[in-house]
Amino acid sequence: MRLGVGVQRRTLVVDGLVTSYLEAGAGEPVVLLHGGEFGAGAEVGWERTIGVLAERYRVIAPDMLGFGESAKVVDFTDGRGMRIRHIARFLALLGVESAHFVGNSMGAVNMFADITSAAPRLPMRSMVTICGGGEIQSNEHMRALYDYDATPEAMRRIVIALFHSDKYPADEEYVRRRYEASVAPGAWEALAAARFRRPGADAPPAPSSRRAYERISIPALVVEGGGDKLLPPGWAAEIAGAIALGRHAVVPEAGHCPQIEQPEVVNELLLAFLDEQSRTESESPAPVRVANASSAVAEPNRKDRT
């Protein structure tokens, strides 16, 4: 699948760094932040989402630094902070002062990291995080993401890790597409550099999902893939329960990228949530129900129930 009519790829130079992004639609801005696996980018991550959201919103989906057609740069001390600061500056240059944010995997983790920090930079008015929380599992699928040797078969293992269905790793064109993105000039190096450390240095601690979620005061929808091979079941409910205006949804028969694997379900969740935030920001959120998937229901934070 490729981008539909009306979706434009644009380029903006942000503090000297070429930044490629997709844009479509008009209205309130919605920012989409893609995942961080080898071969990721705005197009492959959001091609089944942008056109649908653009019917009602202005959708902006950047290739984050190191990915897609954006600059391939590395920060060895604060890679996450580098990308957060870059997106904040990128949006400022576009004149976006407030936006709804949707993130998948690394994009979602970056959103959580920023909004729970002492000094958030991203102009979020509401947030949807898709498979971007919970403790990453130590298993063969996690190792496939980190131990990528830039071969087609290694990319197939990444695709196996990302999806619930086996049709994606069996799709030669899909695997090839992600593989080619992962070996574009500078792409593998920009991500693999995170493995490097000086001789004799201890390995960095494993990443943790523990954050000050109670600091989040904006409406938040936390989405879990029911068949995610990388995160434990139940993590979304736990995180949403710590957020005052939080709710969660579990998308059945979906792995780590539900917006790709179950786009109709996720798009319906997104539109219902975004439309609600557009109508009012003063009322407590009500459950968002998905007509074609009864088990994919956005549940409000239990402590908000009467």
190-220 confidence digits (pLDDT tens): 988 877 766 766 665 555 667 899 999 999 9
Quote the tokens at residue 273: 């949530």
pLDDT attached to residue 281: 56
Ordered by where they begin, the domains of the chain are 8-135+207-304 (3.40.50.1820)
pLDDT grade for 295, boundaries at 50, 70 and 90: very low
Backbone angles phi, psi at 130, to 5 degrees: -115, 110
This prediction's pTM: 0.89
pLDDT attached to residue 206: 58
Going by the DSSP 8-state scheme, the letter that residue 298 receives in this structure is: B
44 vs 296, residue with greater confidence: 44
User: Could you report the per-residue pLDDT of 54-103, keeping only the tens digit for each?
Assistant: 999 999 999 999 999 999 998 888 889 999 999 999 999 999 999 999 99
Quote the tokens at residue 157: 């293992």
Residue 253 contacts residue 226 (beta carbons within 8 Å): yes
Residue 183 contacts residue 150 (beta carbons within 8 Å): yes
CA–CA separation, 132 vs 151, rounded Å? 26
Quote the tokens at residue 14: 């942000």
CA–CA separation, 224 vs 236, rounded Å? 6
User: Could you report the per-residue pLDDT of 134-161, keeping only the tens digit for each?
Assistant: 777 778 888 888 889 999 999 999 999 9
pLDDT attached to residue 296: 54
pLDDT attached to residue 254: 98
Q: Give me the helices (H) in the chain, please.
A: 42-46, 50-53, 79-93, 106-115, 140-146, 152-162, 167-170, 172-182, 187-192, 235-240, 258-261, 263-279
